Amino acid sequence: MDFIPLSDLIGGAAILAVGLFSLAALTITAFFPKARTAVFVTALLGAAAGIVFAGYSFPDNQTAFSDMLLVGGFANFYSILFLVIAVLTMVLSAPYMEKEGYRHSEFYVLVLFAAIGMMMMGASGDLITMFLGLEVMSVTFYVMAGLFRAKLTSNESSLKYFLLGAFATGFLLYGIALIYGTTGTTNLIRIAAQFPQAFDQPLHVIGWGLLLIGLAFKVGAFPFHMWVPDVYEGAPTSVTAFMSTGGKAAAFSAFILVFSIPMAMHDPRMTTVLAVLAAGSMIVGNWFGLSQTNLKRMLAYSSIAHAGYMLIGIASASPVGQQGITFYLVSYALTNLGAFGVVMMLETEKGEGVTYEEYAGLGRRKPVLAALLSMFMFSLTGIPPFAGFVGKYYLFASAVQSGLTWLAVLGVITSLISTYYYLRVVVYMYFRDGSAEEPSLPASSLAAVALSAAGILVLGIMPSLIFDVIVSMF
Amino acid sequence: MIPLNHYLLLSAFLFSCGVLGVAVRRNAIVVFMSIELMLNAVNLTLIAFSSFLGDATGQMLVFFVMVVAAAEAAVGLAIIIALFRNKQTVNVDELNILKW
């Protein structure tokens, strides 16, 4: 009676553990709707169990479930990243959800469900696993964006996300179908083995193109970025924080696995297309970021721009680029979670307190919070000694090494442009007078934000702490 | 036997119909139906390939696609109902609180 070999179960232990805990949390929600703390603790335990299992099998590099799931190294690093993001999101959103009058505990269950999807994406050795992980994550995000169902903005955001997301899924699937049809397999390694010949078939090239559309949509890259600002602005801030960090990291992990590692993209046409996507995202994101007055919407455009920076790493198609993306995702996740954490603390229950005007004078009213938010803005701009600078350095270096110098130059120029709108927030906080109501700052959120800030500072000064681990995975 | 290309052309046609429907129709439910048409066009491609390659992977993927489409339908219709309760419309052009 050996239906599933033990090695497979051990390989998938992290995902299975998170899955079991999330189902347990869901059961508690169903029978004891008021037991919010119990659900919260169960969800945190689930994430912790996942981190332990993923850390335990980190050194072994193998596959499980007939090559469908990757185990160890890359997959586990990303699993840990997703679960850390999930934990920080849950800690930051507990007081926020309470304040906004949302008193249901499914939120924590949904965070874990989405984390399972992300972990599958980061561990996908097969296009089917990638597709399923992507859908588990996306369907959960559609629900989460609409969690505040009495609010029209939340409804609107989730419907837009849903329609456009499902539309992109159609393209992604068509791409998978054509690649399967022309190679006879959905396994990424076996597809890569047929690399140069398979590209002689037009259908195969079309398949990659359609797959690229689907993934570019999920990372929010130009020209498939139209949904990002609306969805990020309308969704509950805690969900936006989770989508923009975890969702983006998961989509990029799948991007690396599908496009970069199988070397399918050493086809020069693919490099050109990816470079154009990267350039377009950087220009569009930073250009529209300039005119924003709402912090949430500004961070949405900033996330388009950052997708552009990370696409440089995909376009350069080298291990340096992949390592750069991985490091960048860690620093971006910490920075954005921190920035959204500050927004969550200052947002009022009517959804106010997110415009620059309302941040005026924050430097005097809440000096600690203003200092932390400034750090996050500096890191997003890419000013040393914060992690954002190191991440950009690695990405631009990978572009130069792969002969895409123009892309690195464009990256530097657009980063310079972005300085204007990131520092504008800092200017408002310190050099403008303003008065807004004084929200009480929950200690747990403050601790989580301070932890993120400490993270980007430490990674900015000593990037080798995590970069050595990343280098060992590729 | 019907050649593979016929199946591929039919599913490409159906897929295009779906894309066109999403692009031109304004009723959220019709848009959603067009998306389902796209997914089913892909299913046809997968089954055709699977049958011509003599390989079961494609058919297995079709089952996964159907499951995902069902989950998406459940979530999508719930979202549309939540919106309708607040706004009494399912026209996507009237979703304009957030700038498109």
Residue A63, class by beta-carbon neighbours within 10 Å (0-12 exposed, 13-18 middle, 19+ buried)? buried
- Residue contact A158–B35, C-beta within 8 A: no
A101/A98 Cα distance (integer angstroms) = 5
C-alpha distance from residue B82 to each of A108, B21, B28 (Å): 21, 23, 13
What does the pLDDT look like over B18-72, one tens digit per residue?
Answer: 999 998 988 889 999 999 999 999 999 999 999 999 888 899 999 999 999 999 9
pTM: 0.93
For residues A364-377, give the mean pLDDT: 88
Q: From the CA of B82, how many Å to the nearest CA of chain A?
A: 6
- Which pLDDT belongs to residue A1? 47
Pick the closest to residue A170 from B22, B25, B57 (CA basis). Answer: B22
Q: With 60 as the cut, is the pLDDT of residue A265 above it? A: no
Q: From the CA of B1, how many Å to the nearest CA of chain A?
A: 18
Model confidence at A2, pLDDT cuts 50, 70, 90, reads low
Question: For residue B65, how many C-alpha atoms fall within 13 Å in the half-sphere facing its CB?
Answer: 29
A157, A170, A177 member nearest B98 (Cβ): A157
Model confidence at A61, pLDDT cuts 50, 70, 90, reads confident
Q: With 80 as the cut, is the pLDDT of residue A368 above it? A: yes
| Helix, strand, coil in percent for chain B, rounding step 5 | 80, 0, 15
Give A69's DSSP letter: E
Output the CA angle A276-A270-A308, nearest 5 degrees: 35
- Which pLDDT belongs to residue A20? 93
For residues A222-242, give the mean pLDDT: 90
Q: With 90 as the cut, is the pLDDT of residue B14 above it? A: yes
Tokens 């959960």 map to which residue? A140
Q: Are B8 and B45 in contact (CB under 8 A)?
A: yes
A18/A400 Cα distance (integer angstroms) = 40
Distance of CA A13 to the CA centre of its chain: 23
Average pLDDT, chain A: 88
Q: With 80 as the cut, is the pLDDT of residue A198 above it? A: no
| Helix, strand, coil in percent for chain A, rounding step 5 | 80, 0, 20
DSSP characters over A172-224: HHHHHHHHHHHHS--BHHHHHHTHHHHTTSHHHHHHHHHHHHHHHHHHT-TTS
Q: Strands A69-71 and A62-64, how do they pair?
A: antiparallel
Residue A4 tokens, joined: 């599933």
Residue A60 tokens, joined: 């072994």
Given CB atoms, is B9 within the 8 Å cutoff of chain A?
A: no
Q: From the CA of A28, how many Å to the nearest CA of chain B?
A: 22
For residues A52-65, give the mean pLDDT: 83
For residues A172-183, give the mean pLDDT: 93
Given CB atoms, is B21 within the 8 Å cutoff of chain A?
A: no
Most A CBs within 10 Å, among B49, B98, B99, to test the A interface:
B98
For residues A267-286, give the mean pLDDT: 88
For residues A188-216, give the mean pLDDT: 86
- Residue contact A159–B98, C-beta within 8 A: no
Residue A354 tokens, joined: 């997110």
Q: Are A414 and A402 in contact (CB under 8 A)?
A: no
Model confidence at A263, pLDDT cuts 50, 70, 90, reads low
Q: A63 phi and psi, to 5 degrees? A: -130, 160
Instruction: Return the higher-pLDDT residue of A459 and A264.
Output: A459
Give A10's DSSP letter: H
What does the pLDDT look like over B71-92, one tens digit per residue?
Answer: 999 999 999 999 899 888 888 8
Given CB atoms, is B65 within the 8 Å cutoff of chain A?
A: yes
Three-state secondary structure call for residue B1: coil
Model confidence at A428, pLDDT cuts 50, 70, 90, reads confident
* Most confident of the following: A64-68, A197-201, A359-363, B80-84: B80-84
Asked if CATH classification 1.10.287.3510 holds for the domain at B27-89, the reply, yes or no, is: yes
Q: With 90 as the cut, is the pLDDT of residue A4 above it? A: no
The residues pairing with A63 across neighbouring beta strands, listed in sequence order, are A70
Q: From the CA of B98, how many Å to the nearest CA of chain A?
A: 6
Given CB atoms, is A180 within the 8 Å cutoff of chain B?
A: yes
Domain boundaries, chain B: 27-89
* Most confident of the following: A93-102, A177-186, A431-440: A177-186
Most B CBs within 10 Å, among A137, A156, A164, to test the B interface:
A156
Pick the closest to residue A96 from A468, A410, A457, A445 (CA basis). Answer: A445
B45, B85, B98 member nearest A156 (Cβ): B98
Instruction: Return the higher-pLDDT residue of A367 and A45.
Output: A45
| Percent of chain A scoring above 90 in pLDDT | 45
Distance of CA A175 to the CA centre of its chain: 23
